[in-house]
Amino acid sequence: MAALSRGAGRRLPWARTVFWLYVATLMLPVLWMFLMSIRPNEDILGSFSLIPQRVTFDNYATFFSDSSWYSSYLNSIVYTSMNAVMSLVVALPAAYAFSRFRFAGDKHLFFWLLTNRMAPPAVFLLPFFQIYQSVGLFDTHLGVAIAHMLFNVPLAVWILEGFMSGIPREIDETAAIDGYSLPRFFIRIFLPMIRSAIGVTLFFCFMFSWVELLIARTITSVNAKPIAATMTRTVSAAGVDWGLLATAGVLTIVPGAIVIWFVRNYIAKGFTMGRV
Amino acid sequence: MTEVQEEPRADLKRKSNRAWLLVLPVVVSVAFTAVIPLMTVVNFSVQDVFSPSDRIFVGLEWFRSISRDPEVRSAFVRTLLFSAQVLLLEIPLGVAIAVCMPRRGVWVSVALVLVALPLLIPWNVVGTIWQIFARGDIGLGGWAINNVLGVNFNYTLDSTDAWVTVLLMDVWHWTPLVVLLAYAGLRSIPEPYFRAAQIDGASAWATFRHIQLPRLRGVLTIAILLRFMDSFMIYTEPFVVTGGGPGNATSFLSILLSKIAVGQFDLGPAGAFSLLYFLIVQILCYVFFTVLTRSGR
């Protein structure tokens, strides 16, 4: 019985090897970034060496003592978290509607939502700048969080709809017969069933908002300036400060890694049938 | 083998216009962030803008000149080729890795975090890291290609090498997205399906082909479309690594567009360009979307 309850099918004998080889390859550029962050600049550009000749933590010290670095880091964390939660909250009911009901214009609306992810940002920048200044959202965390809903809400609706449609409709009907109201069914039964989708959605919203640079930079100046914008300013008279840039790069991985650590169980567990 | 994957059919959906209420928050939020800026771009595209107060209506003039520009046309072909290669490499690789991923124990968490790491680096930093990583003299990747594989590789001089560098960077950066989506999709397959397959004595390949793959269709549609539109609009990473060069080897549509919009500040042509661009992405996505959601139904 133990072998039968294994979950997602049989494992191939070499699957483990293939996977960890892939992860090792994936880690090489990250490792390189880390090695750059603990080396002085002249060593980075000097000559090739796998192991750093001189190890320094000056770059990390600079990052945590310079307020323009660490405050922009915090800004990014604040607006990214706001965006992820807001996107999920508006997307959940919409995704449910798309997966369960037919209504006037549903297919067109769904595709129209997707198209908003296809807009080239370069020319949207000027309109964004003008609108956000006129409504008083310029240089606020809320402003960036709302702006990033442009591409995260469609994505969230889309991912959630994909997963919800995979869940048999009989479950809704059984719950209705058992006397569950729609909101109660949604929160008590349906949400736990799609937790892998919620985990993935939260992570993707966090991720896309975290790495976005162009829009976030355009609609902020000081108070809500993102970390990625601070990174573009490492060019000084002496050239690019590679070590500091790599340090910031290493540190930008940390919050997302924490997020995925928290949602990992949602992603990995999936759902089991017969909960109703 | 027992057929277990009966998809819920679209025509079983209940008809209810009250569902509009559930969609309303999304419509409002997207209208604010998308529709209003888009109107401004439409406005730009039909005018010659000298200053905010000084502009002339020129009709479809910009659309005509942009669509006839040979530079735009070659950038379009280049971008299309790039997206096609990205999809052909990343989708099969991502699914294969997701299937191979561990499913129980502590290693699941470690594997998820490690796979997600490349996605979390801001795009400009991804470009910067690869700019050094792929260099033959001081970067691990370029050094390995030159000295271990014995190939003379220099992405700043050779246009093929530049293309390969940008492509490899994209595969490195974005395959994890396909892996995570496919993995979550695999995890949401109800267990009785596998039990049934196991009792029937299905081979690993048969299980994959008849249970996992059909069930992954929804998730893979997302992955394919997402990778298509993002690779078709790729900007920051190739801009940082190669700046579009050498020559025009890696100047994609987006790089050309921002040259016009930000570099020359020609708002009219840039508006027309981005609307055409937007339209092309939409048409291609619509084709993909229709094919992917109809197949197998």
Q: Which residues pair with B48 in a beta bridge?
A: B56
The pLDDT of residue A260 is above 90 = no
pLDDT at position A273, please? 37
Q: What's the whole-number mean pLDDT along residues B66-84?
A: 90
pLDDT at position A7, please? 45
**B290 Cβ contact list (under 8 Å, min separation 6):** none
Range in A150-154, B18-22, B195-199, B270-274 the model is least confident about = B195-199
pLDDT at position B238, please? 86
Q: Tell me how far apart the alpha carbons of residues A168 and B230 are, in angstroms, rounded to a whole number.
A: 31
Answer whether A8 sits within 8 Å of B103, measured CB to CB. yes
B118-135 exposure pattern, b = at least 16 Cβ within 10 A, e = fewer: bbbbbbbbbbbbbbbbbb
Higher-confidence residue of B147 and B53: namely B147
Shortest alpha-carbon distance between residue A67 and chain B (Å):
20
Q: Which residues of chain B lie closer than 8 angstroms to A100, CB-CB?
A: 13-14, 19
Q: What's the whole-number mean pLDDT along residues A17-41?
A: 90
Angle formed by the axes of helices A67-100 and A242-269, to 10°? 30
Q: Which residues of chain B lie closer than 8 angstroms to A255, CB-CB?
A: 120
Answer whether B140 sits within 8 Å of A32, measured CB to CB. yes
pLDDT at position B6, please? 45
Parallel, antiparallel, or unpaired for β A239-240 and B47-51?
Answer: unpaired
How far does CA B83 lie from the centroid of its chain? 8
Give residue A209's pLDDT band: very low, low, confident or very high (50, 70, 90): very high
The pLDDT of residue B93 is above 60 = yes
Find the CB nearest B14 among A11, A102, A256: A102
C-beta neighbour count of A222 within 10 angstroms: 10
Structure tokens at A36: 């750059």
Answer whether A9 sits within 8 Å of B197, measured CB to CB. yes
The answer to whether residues A52 and A40 touch, using CB atoms and an 8 Å cutoff, is: no
Q: Tell me how far apart the alpha carbons of residues A260 and A267 are, in angstroms, rounded to a whole number.
A: 9
Q: Which residues of chain A lie closer than 8 angstroms to B224, CB-CB?
A: none
Classify residue A9 as left (phi > 0), alpha (psi -120 to 50) or beta: left
Place of tokens 């479809």: B60
The answer to whether residues B227 and B174 touch, using CB atoms and an 8 Å cutoff, is: yes
The answer to whether residues B243 and B237 touch, using CB atoms and an 8 Å cutoff, is: no
- In chain B, beta strands by DSSP E: 14-15, 47-51, 54-57
Tell me the C-alpha to C-alpha distance, in Å, between residue A165 and each of B26, B77, B259. 19, 36, 42
pTM: 0.86
Find the CB nearest B254 among A122, A126, A260: A122
Q: Which residues of chain A lie closer than 8 angstroms to B13, CB-CB?
A: 100-102, 169
Find the CB nearest B14 among A30, A101, A158: A101
Work out the widest C-alpha separation in chain A, in whole angstroms: 73
Residue A104 CA neighbour count, 13 Å, CB half: 4
Structure tokens at B181: 């989506």
DSSP assignment of B73-87: HHHHHHHHHHHHHHH
Answer whether A46 sits within 8 Å of B129, measured CB to CB. no
Find the CB nearest B129 among A33, A89, A98: A33
Any idea what DSSP says for residue A273?
A: S
Q: Tell me how far apart the alpha carbons of residues B198 and A56 are, in angstroms, rounded to a whole number.
A: 55
Q: Tell me how far apart the alpha carbons of residues B181 and B193 are, in angstroms, rounded to a whole number.
A: 20
Cα radius of gyration rounded to whole Å, chain A:
23
Whether chain A has a CB inside 8 Å of the CB on B106: the answer is: no
Intra-chain end-to-end CA distance of chain B, in Å: 20
